[in-house]
Structure 1
Amino acid sequence: MSRAPLPASLWALLAGNFVIGTGVMLVAGTLNEISGSFGVSVSAAGQLMTAGALVVCFGAPLLAALVAGWDRRMLLALTMVWYGVCHVAAALMPSYFELLVVRMLTMLAPAIFTAQAAASAGMLVPPDQRGRGVTFVFLGWSMASVLGLPLGAWLGGHYGWRAAFLVIAVAAICSAAWIWSTMPTGVRPAALTRAAWARVFKSPALMGVVTVTALQSTGQFVVFAYFAPLLKQQLGADATQQSFMWAWFGACGLVGNILVSRYIDRIGAGRAALLTTALMATSLLLWPLGVNFVVFALVVMPWGLGCFAANSAQQARLVGLAPAMAAGSVALNSSGMFIGQAIGAATGGWLLAHDAASWMHWAGLGAMLVAMTLSIAVDRLPRPA
């Protein structure tokens, strides 16, 4: 039996995640250019990701409570306008410190958008298609990696990081208009009361899933945050070659997310999360073998397949465990993802600054193995009441 087509509003949310994801990852893609522009070290420039990730980590649950009563059409459209304006401001900053402050303000948008788009997607489709709807919307992040990030890295390498930021600003305003024109009014996920938030925090299953997400993200960003300088250092890659590698990684991510979106309702979100984490761990284990471009591309392929699909599975897992608490649990999942980014980027930056780059992938692998172990344990816990 063929499934009903997804509503047009989900395409707009997918596009919003594409813009959000491209903007979030753009710092990693233009790290060499930002470092050179302000005369700071690569590891110092990488702390833009750490600071921004901390904003999302603490901002996502707080903002989820603050905007609980908002109509999601207005909320999501205004969030994209904020994202666009902040990227214009960032492109105009004359110093690294001022860029850091603006970047932290910019990251309020991802703190809201990704979690609230996922919660809204679960309300725009029938209950038996929730997994499909949530993972479909998150395909935007995969598309950001295969199209947005490589293009942004190419623009940054050839025209400067400021030009890349301005392109994101234009895309964000266009995304806001699309959401406004297609999203129905009256979409308001149930506001979580203080008691409901307490149930989320007291649920071993929900908090276990969030912890798995944090570990996955930590393991990735020890290395992922410094992909561009590592490619330049290890393989002598120029801007065009780096863009190609970003595109390859992103293409694998898109394929992985499509596959998970297609099969997650059959195999279950827990199994999908475990499988995608294992794929990422495989690449980190094989990382030292990437001594040339061809082998390196093969080494990162499993990572790409699992990267974005893993978080799609985790979001669907939370929505499936407790649909009524999805607005809060998915916001906490965003917190977990970004606290992992902050820890991973800080750890990777410290190792890079202390000439210990060869240890970066081992640190990432360790986090992945712990995530896999915890993920198996979470599936044995009772569902939240």
Structure 2
Amino acid sequence: MSDTALRRASWSLLAGNFAIGCGVMVVAGSLNDLTRSLQVSVAAAGQLITVAALAMSLGAPLLAALCAGWDRRRLLALALIWYGLGHAASALMPDYAALLPVRALSVLAAAVFTPQAAAAISWMAPPERRGRAITFVFLGWSVASVLGMPLHSFIGETFGWRWAFGLVTLLSLLSAWAVWRAVPDGVRPPSLGLDQWRELLTHPVLMAMVAVTALSGSGQFTLFAYFAPFYRQVLQADAAQISFLFFWFGGFGLLGNVLLSRHVDRVGAGRAVAWSLAGMALSMALWPLAGQLWLMPLVLLPWALTGFASNSAQQARLSQAAPALAPALMALNTSAIYLGQALGAGGGGAVVAANLSAGQPPYERLHWIALAWMLAAMALSHWVSRRIARDPTHV
């Protein structure tokens, strides 16, 4: 495959991940208007994140097995079309009860696109550029945090959450067109048989790597899912200030991912994961200092620089650890990302509801729970690195 063709395919898959990231984060960005418009509590609205994340978590490995033989050009373009139409349908739902299942069905496309885009670019790129190619495609998520989250927040606060969902529809359909134009025919990473799936699911080191993703995602979404109401209710931020904080978080997230993309093959994916987890843990430990609006950007900075880079580094780490199992590993890791989102958002919502029932500040203790998840991820990642260093031939 020529460098030009690989570059075009990479950019189209980056655009697809941008649309996917915008859709995954649209609820968190417009959570304030969702609660007002649908007349539900913050904890209940947060369950839109939990249910969608569970659907994606369960769907990623199952759909990877079902779609293993598909040409990736068609699979990825169709996934984005499904995603766009699903968000259009979600925007038309009259109430919370109707929105919940439609949202869950629409995000199944994300369970297909993200891992299969990583597997496709891994198959197309030469081995010496594979880590950089994968992390480049995942820059789409970072760009979504830079542009998508602030836009969702501003649109939700100004025009309503339905218009934010409409933006996701437009982005998804445009990205589907880009993928169809740029990804070549015949991209079919090798399918895995039952024996290979069994080998993967019983491999302690590889499954521990995947578990690191779930633990770190749980830590992030314990807090991240409730950023918008925290900014509004605790920091008394207005619509413009909330958008700025999301833009700040996303901008440094993009910077962190760009730096990772350029240096991951030299630094090593395992070391990049360790640094990323430490950066997020630092922000969570500093969270008590964020009682005033002007301090919030400083507290968020380490997390912003490392949060999205962590997922990219994990994908590169897994693809390098077992290239032959990459399609299944990418699917399982994507499943772990969304499982972490479900556990974090669901657990955080339960804490918010319990605090309100007890007459306590609703977001009390969330950061300590998030930090506990992150420390567990750091410990497990360290164990994985030691095992690989001791016996790199039996990862």
Q: In the alignment, is the contact (CA less than 8 A) between 2:32 and 2:156 conserved in 1?
A: no
Q: In the alignment, is the contact (CA less than 8 A) between 2:47 and 2:345 conserved in 1?
A: yes
Matches of 1:46 and 1:147 in 2, distance apart? 21
Matches of 1:4 and 1:75 in 2, distance apart? 22
Structure 1 residue 348: Cα displacement: 0.6
Matches of 1:33 and 1:357 in 2, distance apart? 19
SS at match of 1:380: helix
Q: In the alignment, is the contact (CA less than 8 A) between 1:322 and 1:384 conserved in 2?
A: no
Matched, 1:300 2:306: no
Match of 2:49 in 1: 49
Structure 1 residue 236: Cα displacement: 0.5
Match of 1:215 in 2: 215
Matches of 2:4 and 2:11 in 1, distance apart? 15
Match of 2:359 in 1: none
Extract unaligned runs of 5+ from structure 1. Answer: none
SS at match of 2:181: helix
Matched, 1:315 2:315: yes
Matched, 1:97 2:83: no
Structure 1 residue 121: Cα displacement: 1.0
Q: In the alignment, is the contact (CA less than 8 A) between 2:90 and 2:103 conserved in 1?
A: yes
Structure 1 residue 294: Cα displacement: 2.4
Match of 1:285 in 2: 285
Q: In the alignment, is the contact (CA less than 8 A) between 1:249 and 1:304 conserved in 2?
A: yes
The 10-residue stretch of structure 1 (344-353 or 66-75) with the greater mean CA deviation from structure 2: 344-353
Matched, 1:378 2:388: no
The 10-residue stretch of structure 1 (202-211 or 375-384) with the greater mean CA deviation from structure 2: 375-384
Q: Which amino acid aligns with 2:146?
A: V
Structure 1 residue 223: Cα displacement: 0.4
Matches of 1:44 and 1:291 in 2, distance apart? 25
Alignment size in residue pairs: 383
Q: In the alignment, is the contact (CA less than 8 A) between 1:321 and 1:383 conserved in 2?
A: no
Alignment of 1:199-238 (within 5 A): 199-238=199-238
Match of 1:341 in 2: 341
Matched, 1:107 2:107: yes
Q: Which amino acid aligns with 2:346?
A: A
Matches of 2:216 and 2:168 in 1, distance apart? 27
Matches of 2:373 and 2:258 in 1, distance apart? 25
Structure 1 residue 383: Cα displacement: 5.0
Matches of 2:292 and 2:176 in 1, distance apart? 42
Cα deviation, 1:111-155, whole Å, max 9, x if unaligned, reads 001000011111121100100000000000000000111112111
Match of 1:364 among 361, 365, 370: 370
Matches of 1:4 and 1:176 in 2, distance apart? 20
Q: In the alignment, is the contact (CA less than 8 A) between 1:69 and 1:188 conserved in 2?
A: yes
Q: In the alignment, is the contact (CA less than 8 A) between 1:283 and 1:303 conserved in 2?
A: yes
Q: In the alignment, is the contact (CA less than 8 A) between 1:277 and 1:371 conserved in 2?
A: yes
Match of 1:273 in 2: 273
Distance change >3 Å, CA 311–CA 336, structure 1 → 2: same
Structure 1 residue 384: Cα displacement: 4.8
Matches of 1:327 and 1:56 in 2, distance apart? 16
Q: In the alignment, is the contact (CA less than 8 A) between 2:5 and 2:182 conserved in 1?
A: no
Alignment of 1:183-262 (within 5 A): 183-262=183-262
Q: In the alignment, is the contact (CA less than 8 A) between 1:205 and 1:383 conserved in 2?
A: no
Matches of 2:251 and 2:368 in 1, distance apart? 25
Cα deviation, 1:237-279, whole Å, max 9, x if unaligned, reads 1222111100000001001101111111011110000100000
Cα deviation, 1:16-50, whole Å, max 9, x if unaligned, reads 00000011001000011111111110110000000
Matches of 1:21 and 1:327 in 2, distance apart? 20
Q: Which amino acid aligns with 1:302?
A: P
Q: Tell me the percent identity.
A: 52
Q: In the alignment, is the contact (CA less than 8 A) between 2:284 and 2:371 conserved in 1?
A: yes
Matched, 1:121 2:127: no
Match of 1:136 in 2: 136
Structure 1 residue 337: Cα displacement: 0.9
Q: What is the TM-score normalised by the length of structure 2?
A: 0.95
Distance change >3 Å, CA 5–CA 71, structure 1 → 2: closer
Structure 1 residue 358: Cα displacement: 1.8
Q: Which amino acid aligns with 1:362?
A: W
Q: In the alignment, is the contact (CA less than 8 A) between 2:237 and 2:293 conserved in 1?
A: no
Matches of 2:168 and 2:281 in 1, distance apart? 31
Alignment of 1:71-82 (within 5 A): 71-82=71-82
Matches of 1:159 and 1:383 in 2, distance apart? 56
Match of 1:166 in 2: 166
Extract unaligned runs of 5+ from structure 2. Answer: 356-361
Q: What is the TM-score normalised by the length of structure 1?
A: 0.97
Cα deviation, 1:153-187, whole Å, max 9, x if unaligned, reads 11111111101111110111111000000101100
Q: In the alignment, is the contact (CA less than 8 A) between 1:93 and 1:99 conserved in 2?
A: yes
